[in-house]
């Protein structure tokens, strides 16, 4: 490990960055160093801009990944290197606003029918039944199940915040069956390695396999189940601020994106054209006496 990488990691640890963020930042900076075959401390803003263009055009990185690189570079040069140049000139890519893929409840049922392993089925049902992220599902501990209050405790979720998620009677029944079968001690979903929990990658792989076996043409990830959870709650009349709390969103406008894909919200909203036609019918005058008599 180079002194620069060590110093950058220490700077991130002092600011309590998550291990995933640290890995992502180091990955991007290592790629920058390999591209120019030199230490990043010898590069300037124009060099960084060239590499950013390379990521977007040649590597076809998504807007989110390009922006993550910008964040990593800003941290390196502003915090670790205390560079004299202004990194504010580094542009961020505009992230396209795409509606999430949502499964119908019939598709969700068919999906779960094709999850072969009890371990994966229980974990994926937590993602749908409680609206958890994949990283939150795999990191659940046995002690996080509060059957008395019917809650799931999510420790250090996104943004390193604790919160509580809903624990429905059906989900509690599923988790109890899983506990009786596997007898986990610490992690609710232990992995194959000792004292480790299930990895997000393995759960995503199980999700893809079940989707293919079920014959679903939609691109389904664990996050699709979370999206479906929120949309189905909205369609059932749950207040959007309650959904915001359950999902752990800081801002209500993040949760409001689900109104774009809820068919009940769309179909249940009256068009202004309907009001216009009603007014026209009420305000229409007969053209002659015969029409008036009719």
Instruction: Give catalytic residue positions.
Output: 133, 158, 223, 226, 249, 258
Beta strands, E only, 22-162: 145-146, 151-154
Query: What letter would DSSP give residue 152?
Result: E
Give all strands of the β-sheet with 145-146 in edge-to-edge order: 145-146, 151-154, 163-166
Q: Where are the alpha helices (DSSP H) in 151-220?
A: 169-182, 200-213
Question: Read out DSSP for 43-73?
Answer: --HHHHHHHHHHHHHTS---HHHHHHHHHHH
SS3 content of the chain, % helix, strand, coil (to 5): 60, 5, 35
209, two tokens? 């396999």
């Amino acid at each position: 490990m180079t002194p620069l990488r060590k110093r950058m990691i220490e700077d991130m640890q002092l600011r309590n960055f998550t291990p995933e963020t640290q890995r992502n930042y180091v990955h991007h900076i290592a790629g920058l160093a390999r591209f120019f075959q030199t230490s990043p401390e010898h590069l300037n803003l124009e060099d960084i801009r060239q590499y950013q263009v390379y990521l977007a055009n040649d590597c076809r990185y998504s807007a989110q990944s390009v922006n993550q690189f910008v964040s990593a570079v800003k941290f390196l040069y502003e915090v670790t290197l205390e560079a004299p140049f202004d990194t504010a000139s580094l542009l961020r890519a505009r992230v396209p606003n795409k509606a999430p893929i949502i499964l119908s409840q019939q598709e969700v049922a068919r999906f779960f029918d094709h999850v072969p392993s009890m371990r994966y089925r229980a974990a994926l049902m937590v993602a749908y039944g409680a609206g958890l992220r994949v990283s939150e599902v795999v990191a659940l501990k046995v002690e996080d199940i509060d059957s008395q209050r019917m809650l799931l405790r999510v420790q250090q979720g996104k943004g390193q915040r604790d919160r509580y998620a809903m624990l429905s009677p059906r989900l509690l029944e599923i988790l109890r069956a899983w506990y009786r079968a596997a007898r986990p001690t610490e992690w609710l979903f232990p992995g194959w390695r000792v004292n480790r929990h299930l990895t997000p990658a393995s759960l995503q792989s199980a999700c893809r396999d079940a989707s293919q076996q079920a014959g679903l043409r939609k691109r389904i990830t664990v996050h699709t189940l979370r999206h479906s959870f929120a949309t189905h709650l909205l369609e059932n009349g749950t207040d959007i601020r309650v959904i915001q709390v359950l999902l752990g969103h800081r801002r209500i406008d993040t949760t409001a994106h689900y109104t774009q894909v809820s068919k009940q919200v769309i179909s249940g909203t009256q068009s202004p054209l309907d009001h216009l036609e009603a007014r026209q019918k009420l305000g229409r005058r007969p053209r002659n006496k015969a029409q008036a008599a009719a």
